[in-house]
Amino acid sequence: MPTVSSPNLIINSAAQSDTGYYVCTATNIVGTGASSQTYLTVTGNLPTVTVTLSNYNTNIGGTVILGCTVDATPAATNVYWQRIINNQQQSIDTTSSNSRYSGSTVSSPSLVITNAQSLDEGNYICYATNSIGTSNSQQTYLNVLGNIPVVTVQESVYSVNIGGSINLVCNIQANPPHTSVTWQKIMNGVTTTVTISGRFSGATVNSPTLTISNVILDDEGYYVCFATNSVGNGQSPQCFLDVIGSIPTVIIGSDYYPVNYGNTATIECNVVATPTETSISWQKIQNSIPSTVVISGRYQGGNVSSPHLIITDVENTDEAFYMCFATNIVGIGQSSQTYLDVQGGMYNIV
């Protein structure tokens, strides 16, 4: 307040409303005198705060910069950001040492978000303060894109013969991209992770399909494909691997074959095998002693293309019990016994 001893007018914290003409007056016993007018211009206003874009997109795990510019006279002294959650504004902390947020300063007012997460999605507002006061930008919306991988298998049931190879096809759609692939097998309520080595290959980020070579019966079961990205784990529906095959079924043509001495005897052997048989053999049991029939000379057949045992110029020593054997990669199947009865000749072996 001006006084007689200090007539100057001092205005503290000048505001826009202080702009205008001013006149100094002084009063004595004679009367009041007035100065000429002087005009006070108050320069400056609240900061002008502007966000660069009305919305931003980023992938989960990515980095995004929410642009903010501040035009302030007097200069801004503070900048901060708030996020709107459930209609409530929440300040963004950029000071913590482990914070994923940075920027939001007078010299760098934009907000930098690293390793973006789903919870970062929402509306953001930039604020700036100067000596006149605080103002804010319009809202900008951050859309965080991405989810757990979508994993599918091509077929719900796969079939393969024992000893064969099979591809369990896995398709993955992931944003952000998946970083790992695993398979699990479920059989009789027991879940195990498939180890990728030996007969098992594939199951990589670039080739998620599981390839099983030289399939065995133990490979039969339910399989599930898993893919992981920065959001989480996705899994496929179960697919079933049906392993087809067993030891060969070997059926003898008759349990009794009579043949005259010197004639030709054909002992029939029929084989049903999945996987296909790889060899045929015959066994002779004479006086309870088994021996392998060597296919040569008077003995013919006894192979995959012609499994029947053919004996030419039958002799008395050929009289015996016979069994047919068939082998595939699962194992060995055998027929029941059949008896070759050689009639005539010098003698009969009982």
Regarding pTM above 0.75, the answer is no
Classify strands 256-260 and 25-27 as parallel, antiparallel or unpaired.
unpaired
Percent of the chain with pLDDT over 90: 76
pLDDT at position 24:
86
- The pLDDT assigned to 230 comes to 83
Cβ-contact 239, 169 below 8 angstroms = no
* Whole-number percent of the chain with pLDDT over 70: 98
Mapped onto helix, strand or coil, the DSSP state of residue 18 is: helix
CATH classification number, 148-244, choose in 1.10.1470.10, 1.10.357.10, 2.60.40.10, 3.30.450.40: 2.60.40.10
pLDDT per residue over 48-81, tens digit each?
A: 999 999 999 998 888 999 999 999 999 999 999 9
Tell how far CA 237 is from the center of its chain. 12
Which residue has better confidence, 316 or 347? Answer: 316
Average pLDDT of every residue of the chain:
93
pLDDT band at 6 (very low <50, low <70, confident <90, very high): confident
Q: Is the pLDDT of residue 333 over 80?
A: yes
Domain ranges, ordered by start, for the chain: 1-43, 48-145, 148-244, 249-343
pLDDT score at 350: 43
Least confident of 34-38, 219-223, 294-298: 34-38
Residue 39 pLDDT grade (very low, low, confident, very high; cuts 50, 70, 90): confident
* CATH fold match for the domains 48-145 and 249-343: yes
Contacts of 98 (CB under 8 A, 6+ apart): none
Range scoring the smallest mean pLDDT among 84-88, 232-236, 284-288, 291-295:
84-88
Eight-state DSSP code of residue 203: -
Q: Are 190 and 143 in contact (CB under 8 A)?
A: no
Span 136-176, pLDDT tens digits? 999 999 999 998 999 999 999 999 999 899 999 999 999 88
pLDDT for 346 equals: 63
3-state helix, strand, coil in the chain (%, to 5): 5, 50, 50
Q: Is the Cβ–Cβ distance between 228 and 180 less than 8 Å?
A: yes
**Predicted pLDDT at 349:** 46
Give the DSSP letter string of 22-87: E--EEE-SS-EEEPPPEEE-----SPEEEES-SEEEEETT--EEE-EEEE-SSPP-EEEEEEEETT
Specify the long-range contacts of residues 195-204, CB closer than 8 Å, at least 24 apart.
Answer: 202/167, 203/170
CATH no. for 48-145:
2.60.40.10
Q: Could you read off the pLDDT of 191-213 as tens digits, one per residue?
A: 999 999 999 999 999 999 999 99
Question: Is the per-residue pLDDT at 11 higher than 90?
Answer: no
pLDDT, average across residues 12-32: 82
- CATH entry, 249-343, from 1.10.4080.10, 2.60.40.10, 3.40.50.150, 1.20.120.530: 2.60.40.10
Distance CA 72, CA 246 (A): 85
